[in-house]
Amino acid sequence: MTNPFPFSSNAVLTASQLNEIGSFDTWTPTFTGLTAQPTIGLAAYTEVNDLVYYMMYVEIDSGDLPFTGSLTCTAPVPTSGAMTYMPQGQAWLRPSGGTIFHGTQITTGNSIYFYGLSESGTYSTVSNVNATVPATWTTDGDFWAMGWYRSA
């Protein structure tokens, strides 16, 4: 998708320009932290001015395991660095095809980092998604994620 923005203040937009606002395009994120690239069921994004919204569905199977570190992937368009390390998304993590865990993401550099939330103490804590966070990942794991950030 070619970003139809920026438009200047008080500009008269054509119907074609209005229809492009919020159109989604696909991208192929490159993952780190896994033995191989996982199956991407969906990876789509839209960009309006310098705001990027993305969503993805990813399946983790036996060829992707074991984890080799923390789970990250490339962002669909370069990030600005503004708001680095701020939680900028939500995730639905299902490491073994059963229990669903809540997660979040941050962007830094041109990467999206995935975190699992723990509710076991008085306060919520976060840890990088890896082989055992939020639980041990098996060959039928998957996750949904959506988030937003400012583009460069």
- State how far the Cα of 39 lies from the Cα of 141, in Å rounded to an integer: 11
Q: For residue 59, what are its two tokens? A: 């399946």
The mean predicted confidence, pLDDT, of the chain is: 87
CA distances from 67 to 34, 52, 85 (A): 4, 28, 23
81 Cβ contact partners less than 8 Å away, ≥ 6 residues apart: 108, 109, 152
Give the pLDDT confidence score for residue 9 in this predicted structure.
67
pLDDT value at 17 more than 60 = yes
CB atoms within 10 A of CB 125: 12
Enter the pTM of the model: 0.85
Mean pLDDT of the 90-94 span? 95
Give the pLDDT confidence score for residue 57 in this predicted structure.
97
- State how far the Cα of 38 lies from the Cα of 51, in Å rounded to an integer: 27
Higher pLDDT, 37 or 98: 37
Q: For residue 108, what are its two tokens? A: 């830094």
